[in-house]
């Protein structure tokens, strides 16, 4: 005869319910806010004033300048401002971050080994913006897999609700596009807010786990192409940048997670103009200044 349990079925259910409630509470406590719900009115006004002061108000009005700035010094309380943040544009090499993400997701899932050859190719793809290296990594992880990763519910880096986002639909080679984005027919595109989300999720270890996050950040560090945001912050050598840019004809794009003294922030810029690269260069230091500037006390 078996010994009767000291716990009734109702008691077991109650204990399980309490455990689940605690788990849910902990998950909510650890949750990070949505950047779209973190617009800071003061920072937004300051960004608009900066764009006007730099003579770029007309370009912004014509959707030839797109910006996102996010103060993530307090990761649980990000402060975001954006100009044309959901306008999707061609971004040349910047969407190589999508290939990097897909590779690291597959590494975490055990589908891909992070060997010396792959790490070297990913580093060249990001720091030097090597097209041959990018195409090798793309072919290794799979073209459809990059598309699926960008649209996966856990990321939603391409989201029709917000006019698209990050997209890779062409190898970085002479071949034509194999799958342009559904909304705009762009082969290599981004929106500023979606790229800002990429860096925020990277920093908060929501792309991959802690150990692989360190590896991803290492690859994104030490940019070898020193223009745009990098050039704009050359007088601030203490600023550590994790960065990817892109350039093709009149399309200029840059993005960076910046750690500056006790501050951390994300800046993303796209410009469609022959002088677009210079625009991003001259905006870099003033954008940083907005982050470290104290807003007025209420």
Q: What is the 3-state secondary structure (H, E, C) of 106-136?
A: HHHCCCCCCCHHHHHHHHHHHHCCCHHHHHH
Name the band, by pLDDT with cuts 50, 70 and 90, for residue 67.
very high
Structure token pair of residue 23: 């788990």
| CB contact at 8 A, 160 and 184 | no
Domain formed by 38-166+188-292, architecture: 3-Layer(aba) Sandwich (3.40)
Tens digit of pLDDT for each residue in 206-249? 999 999 999 999 999 999 999 999 999 999 999 999 999 999 99
Q: Is 157 helix (H, G, I), strand (E, B) or coil?
A: coil
Domain boundaries, the chain: 38-166+188-292
> Residue 37 contacts by C-beta under 8 Å, 6 or more apart in sequence?
none
Q: Look up the pTM and report it.
A: 0.90
Q: Tell the residue number behind the tokens 């050859």, with chain if given.
A: 117
For strands 188-190 and 89-90, give the pairing. antiparallel
Tens digit of pLDDT for each residue in 121-177? 999 999 999 999 999 999 999 999 999 999 999 999 999 999 999 999 999 999 999
In this predicted structure, the answer to whether residue 26 has a pLDDT above a threshold of 90 is no
Residue 296 DSSP class: P
> If you average pLDDT over every residue of the chain, what do you get?
91
Tens digit of pLDDT for each residue in 212-222? 999 999 999 99
| CB contact at 8 A, 196 and 216 | no
């Amino acid at each position: 005869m078996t010994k009767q349990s000291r716990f009734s079925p109702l008691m077991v259910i109650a204990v399980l319910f309490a455990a689940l409630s605690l788990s849910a509470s902990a998950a909510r406590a650890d949750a990070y806010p949505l950047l779209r719900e973190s617009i800071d009115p003061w920072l937004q006004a300051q960004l608009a004033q900066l764009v006007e002061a730099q003579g770029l108000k007309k370009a912004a009005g014509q959707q030839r300048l797109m910006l996102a700035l996010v103060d993530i010094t307090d990761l649980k309380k990000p402060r975001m401002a954006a100009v044309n943040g959901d306008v999707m544009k061609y971004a040349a090499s910047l969407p190589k971050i999508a290939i990097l993400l897909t590779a690291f997701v597959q590494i975490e899932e055990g589908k891909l080994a992070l060997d010396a050859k792959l790490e070297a190719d990913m580093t060249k793809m990001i720091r030097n913006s090597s097209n041959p290296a990018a195409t090798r990594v793309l072919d290794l992880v799979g073209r459809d897999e990059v598309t699926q990763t960008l649209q996966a519910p856990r990321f939603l880096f391409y989201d029709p609700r917000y006019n698209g986002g990050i997209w890779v639909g062409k190898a970085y080679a002479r071949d034509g596009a194999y799958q342009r984005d559904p909304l705009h027919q762009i082969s290599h595109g981004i929106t500023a807010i979606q790229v800002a989300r990429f860096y925020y999720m990277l920093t908060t270890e929501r792309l991959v786990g802690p150990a692989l996050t360190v590896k991803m950040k290492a690859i994104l560090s030490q940019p070898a192409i020193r223009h745009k945001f990098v050039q704009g912050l050359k007088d601030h050598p203490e600023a550590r940048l994790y960065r990817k840019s892109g350039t093709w004809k009149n399309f200029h794009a840059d993005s960076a997670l910046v750690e500056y003294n006790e501050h951390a922030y994300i800046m993303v810029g796209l410009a469609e103009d022959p002088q677009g690269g210079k625009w991003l260069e001259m905006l870099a230091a003033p954008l940083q200044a907005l982050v470290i500037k104290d807003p007025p006390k209420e």
